[in-house]
Each structure stands twice: as C-alpha cells, then as structure tokens.
C-alpha cells in the first residue's frame, strides 16, 4: 500500500517513536547489490518530493561507485534527506543525528550528510551546530555531490546550498529503490512561487520551474514499459506547471501535460499532487473527465475556512473562491470524486468564530481525507516576521482535536457511499494484516482490501465493496 501523498510532516499529536525506531513517515532507501565499492544509506523524511529526490541522489551516486544499503552499520556514507515544514520534523532529524553519532564514534571514517529543506534553511550553521555532519547539500545542488564527497574524503567539510532557477534534474533517471514496482512518482516541477505566510518551501526549494514536457512523457512511457501501472505527477503546485520550448513553438500547461501523459497508455493510471485552489482550472477538470485513466481524486488544501485567516496566510483566495472550485469539481467530475485537504488549527489571531468557519467548510465539502496540524511558527517565514503566534498551545490542540474528530466522521460517511458499488482496484501488494488478502487503491485513492484468490500485484481487479471503516474499503472480486 502506498504512503499518503505529500504528508507535509509528522502529526503533532502523534506519539514519539522509541529510541532507534524511525517514524512511520521515514523511508530508508532499499539495497542494491551490483558490486560497487562504497555503500550509501539514505533516510528520507516528510514528503513524496523528498522520496523522489532521494531516488535522484541514488542515481547520481550510483554512477560514482555507490551501492545502496538498508543497514546503517554497513554504510560508508549516511544521508538524511530532511523536511523543514514544521519544527517537530527538525527535532526528529537532530535526534536521529545523535543516534548516528554512536556509529561514527565506532567508525570514524563514516561520512554523514544532511540534504534537502533543513539543509537549505540552516546552511553552514549545520556544520557548527551538529559537529557530526560532514556535508550539507540543498535541493538544487545534488549534481555537486560527487565533488563535495571528494572534499570530505580529503578531510574537509563541504557545503552547497545554492538555489537554482533552472535545475529540474530532467535528464537524470531516478533509481526506483523505494517503489513497489507498480506505482512510481514523477517530478514535473520544482520550487514554489506562492508565498504562503506560514510556509518555508519558497525559501528552501527556490523559485518555481517546470520540467521539459517531453522528458516527463518519456519517463512515464519508460515506467509503463518496465511494468509500472500508475504514476503520480508531483509538484508543490502542479496546476501552475507551464513549459515552453526554446523556439516558442510549443507551450504546455498542466491540462496539456496531463493529457499527454494519459495518452501514453489507457492502462497507465495517472494521479497528481498537489493542487492549489487559486490555480486549478476547469480545463484541468475537463481533462480528468475526458480520460478514464486519470484518477478521480484531487488534493485541494484549504488550510482554513475563514477568509480573513486565509488573507493572513497569503493564500490569495477566499472562502467563496474555494467553495466555487469545489462546486466545479462536483459539477464536472461528480459527487464520487475524492477530495482531500490540509487544515491548520490555531493560526495567528484565529478566533473561535473563525475556527468554526473551518468546521463549517468541512461540513460543506465532506472531505474524503485530510492532513491536519496545529500551527507551528517556522523561522524566516512571513508569519514569523510579521504576525504574532498568539494562540495558546492548549487551544490549538483542542481546535485540532475538533477538526480531526469531524474529519473522521466525514471519512466514514464518504467511505459508506462506496459500499454496494464495484470499484476498479490496482493491486499494490498483500494486506498488512493478512497474507490471504490483497490491498490496492481505487480511482478515488481509497484503500481496498479483498481476498487474494488468484490475483497478483499489478492486476486491475473489479471489487464489489460490502463493508467499510473510516479508512478502508472491504470487498470481494467480481467478474
């Protein structure tokens, strides 16, 4: 079963992992055994963009003589690909570095590096604060890793956190080490031009730039030819994708790209994430409706249901605009289209009435699923510089609990609508609870469990759903 898309961070109310136990959101790159002289161990934190980037890093270092390993004790080079979206993510990484330090004391030749958003935010301060760290590399500097590693091999510490206006890694074929062989992620753009006041992404991943459309289509075609059945197009804001050829003869927006990838094969299922409410167009929705292999599911973060709070967040839309986009989804794609969201409880100066507006928005939309957090001020953001984080922690937690409780109710209601219907499910593997059952997802990104019988991973199976929980659909295969 795939992990949820773009889980921005570990939930603040989630229990802390035990010592030396990684959080559920963390992925360790799987092992390769090709006889290369050195071994690379990567832990990826936070979101699917980081997981995708780790596959790019693995590809770059594979060409430099590194196999990957799942065992930290076997590694010559340890890289943590980090998230900086919330404070708890950074705390988790710092704690992990302390644990890795015990390995380095036993093996002084072990090299340790920090990649990604946290590296970009702290830059050379990381070398000063975390004496264990040998190299710090930002999201746009992965091509420079071979040179940086040579500097560290020669006894130096190394840093490259330069952001780029051009880098998309379009010519690098990721090493698909974290894949189930059925689903894959394809990065279509990097960076973000939205300046949401609570978010560090524009400062850690740089300005928005889109990949060559042809390279994206070719990557999707190559994945299909290798046996993959589903690709997810990734970007901080996929709806603002735009690419133009150097001669100006071609211009491709997101709707056009979606169509090009859908045309690779009707047997290749297409998903995408994340959409921004200010940019998602009817053209995109009509493209989804036109192609059966484009999944009927949209992640549309609201963040708040109150227009004043949305303005403070610099989301550039209000409650009415958001509801109009939801109405367009229902009009063009139907009531069955899955919609998920992000919600932040207790943003700066949020009143009880404004919190109630968030709950009423949820009551209006009935989201299938949501990522829910209480506000955590991040250094360097517009909110940290211009707004006061004035909501008491206990109030934030109480509001978050109310949001979570309501979402669980809505998730159960939305899942109940699936009961009694036949769903086309792409099998991703065996169920976590039983080897006798298979697990996959339907068009609306819902997990479906059904008896294994003769079906295999990668099969499309029609499943009649007869029962559900708030998170899972249960059924039986039908002809």
Q: Which percentage of the chain shows pLDDT scores above 70?
A: 94
Q: Please say if the pLDDT value at position 159 is more than 50.
A: yes
Q: Are 134 and 178 in contact (CB under 8 A)?
A: no
Q: Are 342 and 5 in contact (CB under 8 A)?
A: no
- Which pLDDT band, with edges at 50, 70 and 90, does 432 fall under? confident
Residues 258-277: what's their mean pLDDT? 97
pTM of the predicted structure, to 2 decimals = 0.85
Q: Please say if the pLDDT value at position 18 is more than 50.
A: no
pLDDT of residue 177: 65
pLDDT of residue 7: 31
pLDDT in tens, 69-93: 999 999 999 999 988 877 777 888 8
Q: Please say if the pLDDT value at position 9 is more than 60.
A: no
Residues 48-52: what's their mean pLDDT? 85
pLDDT in tens, 437-453: 999 999 999 999 999 99
pLDDT of residue 139: 92
pLDDT of residue 80: 94
pLDDT in tens, 176-198: 766 688 999 999 999 999 999 99
Beta bridge partner(s), residue 233: 186, 272
Q: Are 45 and 89 in contact (CB under 8 A)?
A: yes
Rounded to the nearest 10 degrees, the angle between the axes of helix 145-153 and helix 48-62 is 70
- Between these two residues, 117 and 20, which has the higher pLDDT value? 117
pLDDT of residue 129: 75
- Which pLDDT band, with edges at 50, 70 and 90, does 10 fall under? very low
At CA 252, angle to CA 247 and CA 253, rounded to 5?
145
pLDDT in tens, 317-347: 999 999 999 999 999 999 999 999 999 999 9
**Residue-averaged pLDDT of the chain:** 90
Q: What does the radius of gyration of the chain's CA atoms come to, in whole angstroms?
A: 22
pLDDT in tens, 278-302: 999 999 999 999 999 999 999 999 9
Distance CA 374, CA 399 (A): 8
Residues 395-415: what's their mean pLDDT? 97
pLDDT of residue 2: 36
Distance CA 186, CA 174 (A): 9
pLDDT in tens, 311-323: 999 999 999 999 9
- Which pLDDT band, with edges at 50, 70 and 90, does 303 fall under? very high
Residues 213-241: what's their mean pLDDT? 96
Q: Please say if the pLDDT value at position 31 is more than 90.
A: no
pLDDT of residue 17: 41
- Which pLDDT band, with edges at 50, 70 and 90, does 122 fall under? confident
Q: Please say if the pLDDT value at position 127 is more than 80.
A: no
pLDDT of residue 86: 74
Residues 350-372: what's their mean pLDDT? 98
Task: Report the candidate in 349, 341, 325 with the shortest Cα–Cα distance to residue 274.
Answer: 341
Q: Please say if the pLDDT value at position 108 is more than 90.
A: no
Q: Which of 85-89, 202-206, 253-257, 390-394 shows the lowest mean pLDDT across its residues?
A: 85-89
- Between these two residues, 162 and 310, which has the higher pLDDT value? 310
Residues 37-47: what's their mean pLDDT? 90
Altogether, the residues listed in the chain come to a count of: 479
Residues 26-34: what's their mean pLDDT? 82
């Amino acid at each position: 079963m795939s992990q949820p898309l773009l889980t921005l961070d570990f939930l603040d109310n989630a229990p802390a992992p035990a010592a030396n136990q990684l959080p559920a959101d963390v992925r360790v790159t799987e092992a390769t055994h090709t006889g290369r002289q050195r071994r690379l161990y990567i832990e990826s934190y936070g979101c699917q963009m980081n997981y995708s980037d780790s596959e790019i890093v693995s590809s770059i270092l594979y060409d430099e003589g590194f196999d990957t390993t799942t065992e930290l004790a076997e590694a010559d080079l340890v890289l943590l690909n980090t998230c900086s979206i919330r404070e708890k993510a950074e705390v988790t990484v710092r704690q992990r570095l302390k644990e890795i330090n015990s390995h380095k004391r036993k093996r002084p030749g072990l090299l340790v590096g920090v990649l990604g958003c946290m590296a970009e935010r702290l830059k050379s301060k990381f070398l000063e604060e975390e004496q264990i760290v040998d190299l710090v590399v930002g999201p746009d500097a992965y091509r420079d890793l071979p040179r940086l590693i040579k500097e560290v091999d020669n006894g130096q510490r190394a840093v490259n956190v330069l952001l780029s206006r051009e880098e998309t890694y379009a010519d690098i074929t990721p090493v698909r080490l974290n894949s189930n062989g059925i689903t894959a992620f394809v990065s279509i753009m990097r960076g973000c031009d939205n300046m949401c006041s609570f978010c560090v992404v524009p400062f850690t991943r740089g300005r928005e730039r889109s990949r060559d459309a042809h390279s994206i289509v070719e990557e999707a075609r190559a994945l299909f030819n290798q046996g993959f059945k589903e690709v997810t197009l990734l970007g901080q804001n996929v709806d603002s994708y735009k690419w133009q050829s150097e001669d100006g003869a071609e211009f491709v927006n997101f709707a056009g790209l979606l169509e090009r990838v859908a045309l690779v094969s009707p047997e290749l299922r297409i998903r995408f994430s994340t959409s921004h409410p200010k940019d998602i167009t009817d053209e995109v929705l009509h493209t989804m409706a036109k192609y059966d292999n484009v999944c009927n599911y949209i992640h549309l973060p609201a963040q708040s249901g109150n227009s004043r709070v949305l303005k403070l967040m610099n989301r550039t839309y209000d409650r009415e605009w958001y509801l109009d986009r939801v109405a367009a989804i229902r009009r063009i794609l139907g009531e069955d289209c899955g919609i998920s969201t992000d919600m932040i409880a207790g943003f700066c100066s949020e009143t009880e009435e404004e919190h109630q507006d968030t709950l009423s928005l949820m009551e209006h939309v009935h989201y299938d699923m949501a990522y829910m957090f209480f506000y955590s001020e991040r250094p360097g953001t517009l909110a940290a510089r211009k707004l006061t984080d004035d909501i008491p922690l206990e109030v934030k937690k109480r509001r978050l609990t109310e949001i979570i409780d309501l979402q669980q109710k809505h998730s159960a209601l939305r899942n109940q609508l699936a009961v009694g219907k036949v769903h086309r499910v792409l099998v991703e593997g065996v169920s976590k609870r039983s080897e006798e059952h298979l697990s996959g997802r339907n068009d609306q990104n819902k997990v479906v469990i059904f008896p294994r019988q003769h079906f295999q991973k990668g099969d499309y199976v029609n499943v009649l759903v007869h029962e559900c929980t708030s998170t899972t659909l249960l059924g039986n295969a039908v002809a």
